[in-house]
Amino acid sequence: MSWFKREKPTAEKLPKLEDSERTVRTEGLWQKCESCRQIIWKKDLESNWNVCPRCGNHSRIDAVTRLRLLFDDAVYEQYDATLRSSDPLQFVDSKPYGERLRAMEQATSLTDALISAGGRLDGRWVFICSMEPKFIGGSMGSVVGEKIARSIDRALARKAPLLIVSASGGARMQEGAVSLMQMAKISAGLMKLDQAGLPYISILTDPTTGGVTASYAMLGDLNIAEPGALIGFAGPRVIEQTIRQKLPEGFQRAEFLLKHGMLDAVVPRLELKPYVSRALKFFAG
């Protein structure tokens, strides 16, 4: 006979953590790598520019981080930061386009899907257009087109090289034909750079698809991509349905494209700056 009943602590008797408390305690400290599934301390990942220290998988980085990676001491000037789309079609899908733009602006602190910047890369002045994949999928509309066109004009005036870092789902549907016109507008501008003998390097990151692939992303004097980046025009499902064939393994990934002559190089993010610097030295002396 026992003098007291020893009660096993049951789940109900333990102080219960509210879901919100749980999130507060763990949120943001650890992250699971999408590729090797290892749990990584988020700070380790960030200090490695979002490249997994275990397996080398490249997670996406935002437009600002990209500029900090490429410019000396992360110092750069920003241009046309207040350009906004006028919503030329007064487009409405699941919500009005104007409303969508305002929400995106709040979420990303950007007015559209591209940052236009200028600064020094290993001491050499360059202009860099960096796309933001979080802003309506990094889609290319009138503002992206205009910012790149102005960047080309600046490069011509200063006789400086141009880099465009693509991260985009393609043309912005909410601007219809206006967004498609940007492909021609930018391509014509890049022709002027070519005639002036100024280098243009295209850096394709995950993902680069649709109208962006079909225009400026593939028009570089050098087209280089990050490892594992999805690059293509139409999605694999659409292609499979059209050609009625199963697509090969790794189709539309950077390495596959390099093997088939669509790219000049696949360069890991941590080697990107020295690689670009060497290339510019080769092109521009």
Smallest separation (angstroms) from Zn ion to the CB of 47: 15
Helices marked H in the chain — which ranges?
A: 19-26, 42-47, 63-70, 97-108, 142-158, 176-195, 210-213, 236-243, 254-259, 269-284
**In this structure, are residues 246 and 206 in contact, taking their beta carbons and an 8 Å threshold?**
no
* Interface with Zn ion, residue 187, by CB under 5 A: no
Q: Which amino acid is at 199?
A: P
User: Which window, 48-56, 146-154, 158-166, 235-243, contacts Zn ion (CB under 5 A)?
Assistant: 48-56
Out of 33, 173, 180, 230, name the contact with Zn ion by CB under 5 A. Answer: 33
Select 118 or 228, whichever has its Cβ closest to Zn ion: 228
For residue 55, state whether it binds Zn ion (rule: CB under 5 A): yes
When asked if residue 48 is in the footprint of Zn ion (CB under 5 A), the reply is no
Closest approach, Cβ 51 to Zn ion, in A, equals 9
DSSP code for 233: S
With respect to Zn ion, which residue has the nearer C-beta, 36 or 103? 36
Stretch that binds Zn ion, among 49-57, 142-150, 176-184, 193-201 (CB under 5 A): 49-57
Q: Does 45 bind Zn ion (CB under 5 A)?
A: no
Q: How far is the CB of 86 from Zn ion (least distance, A)?
A: 43
Q: Does 42 bind Zn ion (CB under 5 A)?
A: no
Confirm if 198 and 230 have CB atoms less than 8 A apart: no
Site stretch for Zn ion (CB under 5 A), options 9-17, 52-60, 66-74, 97-105: 52-60
Q: Nearer Cβ to Zn ion, position 48 or 108?
A: 48
Three-class SS of residue 110? coil
- Yes or no: say if 212 and 225 are a contact pair by the CB < 8 Å rule: no
Asked if 36 is part of the footprint of Zn ion (rule: CB under 5 A), the reply reads yes
Q: Does the protein bind Zn ion through residue 57 (CB under 5 A)? A: yes
Question: Could you tell me how many residues of this chain bind Zn ion (CB under 5 A)?
Answer: 7
* Amino acid residing at 138: G
Question: What distance separates the 2 farthest-apart alpha carbons in the chain?
Answer: 99
> Which residues are 168's β-sheet partners?
208
Question: What does the block give as tokens for 107?
Answer: 């979420």
Is residue 54 close enough to count as binding Zn ion by CB under 5 A? yes
Q: For residue 214, give the 3-state DSSP assignment.
A: coil
Look at residues 169, 33, 172, 154 and name the one whose alpha carbon lies nearest to residue 101.
Answer: 172
Does 35 engage in binding with Zn ion (CB under 5 A)? yes
Question: Interacting stretch for Zn ion, rule CB under 5 A, among 32-40, 120-128, 139-147, 234-242?
Answer: 32-40
Cβ atoms of residues 199 and 224 within 8 Å: no
Binding site for Zn ion (CB under 5 A): 33, 35-36, 52, 54-55, 57
